[in-house]
Amino acid sequence: MWGRSQRNVRKSRRADVLRVRAEARGGRFTPGRIVAALLLAGLLTLAGHTAGRGWAMLRDEVILPPRVFGVRVVEVFPEPTWLSRTEVVRWTGVRAGDNLLTLDLDRIKRDLELVPQIEAVALERVLPDTLRILVRERQPLARVPGVLPEAGRLVPTTYFLDAQARVMPPVGADRPDLQAALAALPVVSGLDRTALRVGRRVDAPPVRTALELVRLFPHSPMAGRAELVSLDVAEPDQVRVQTAQGAEVVFPLTRPEEHLHRWRLVHEAGQRAGRAIRWLDLSVTNNCPLLWQPAEPPAVPPAPAVENTIPGGRHV
């Protein structure tokens, strides 16, 4: 009886093991099941694509029809100085009739801000058919002599730098008015001409100091008393400023506002003495090495006219 019970238990366990193995074999992937899964995935992908196209068609033709929201007007504010309105509109990639509500404004903003003359852009949809573009152009502070590759040779040209030392392209020959307006900007010299790249920043510390001096100068104590002509940045630790009055002033790379004030003090001392600065080194902290321009000789009054007479009272 006990032996028979043991045999029944063993048969039951053997049956359970066989059943588990059969179930495991039945759960494995077979070629037929793989093909069916691939077909199902393809059908789902096709259905999603068709639904997407159907939604796009429904959106563009029924919900947001171009005949109602098609772009007809592109406004550019304010009127560009460096660029033309036509150029700005062309760089947006927007065409007449494009659906105003489906325009990718982030993409348009990104593309416009890649233009070297543009600093920032804001876009606005004005229903039903107007795209408004607000453009802030970069303001050039200084000119930089450079070279431009042309027909296999390097042609001298003039680039421009804004307050962030961003290199701006030369002005075209078709803009003589703009060329004349920018001719009064001071020149930053001492840079490697071949290193200038339009749209890139110049990261040299002397260049940043030179542009900060140009930016601060109209509001400094020296405004109206001197005129900046050029700023030499060839030295790594100083900036040499040349003025229209014939003075050379050496600036360190730090605290430009403080050194502009020191320049004013020396200038006033020279005025009291009747002298003008020829060379001034503001990079020395505890004194100001200085050379005055040669004093002008005192004006000599003209000699009085001498009248010669001959007998008979006639003048010669």
Q: What is the CATH number of the domain that holds 113?
A: 3.10.20.310
d(CA 8, CA 106): 77
On the question of pLDDT at 10 being above 70, the answer is no
Q: What is the pTM of this model?
A: 0.70
- pLDDT at residue 270 in the model: 94
- Longest CA span, the chain: 184
Report the C-alpha gap between 193 and 176 in whole angstroms: 24
- pLDDT score recorded for residue 315: 47
Of 64-78, 202-216, 295-309, the range with the highest mean pLDDT is 202-216
Q: Is the separation of the CB atoms in 217 and 260 below 8 Å? A: yes
Residue that is last in its domain, among 137, 166, 198: 137
Q: Which are the contacts of 214, defined by CB distance < 8 A and separation ≥ 6?
A: 141, 142, 186, 228, 231
- Answer yes or no: is 26 within a domain: no
77 and 40 in a single domain? The answer is: no
Can you give the residue range of the structural domain that contains 104?
Answer: 67-137
Q: What would the two tokens of residue 35 be? A: 């093909």
Tell me the range of 38-42, 117-121, 300-304 where mean pLDDT is highest. Answer: 117-121
The answer to whether position 208 is within a domain reads no
Residue 173 has what pLDDT? 81
Determine the Cα–Cα distance for residues 261 and 314; give it in Å rounded to an integer.
Answer: 66
pLDDT of residue 2: 46
With 50 as the cut, is the pLDDT of residue 149 above it?
yes
Residue 236: the pLDDT is 93
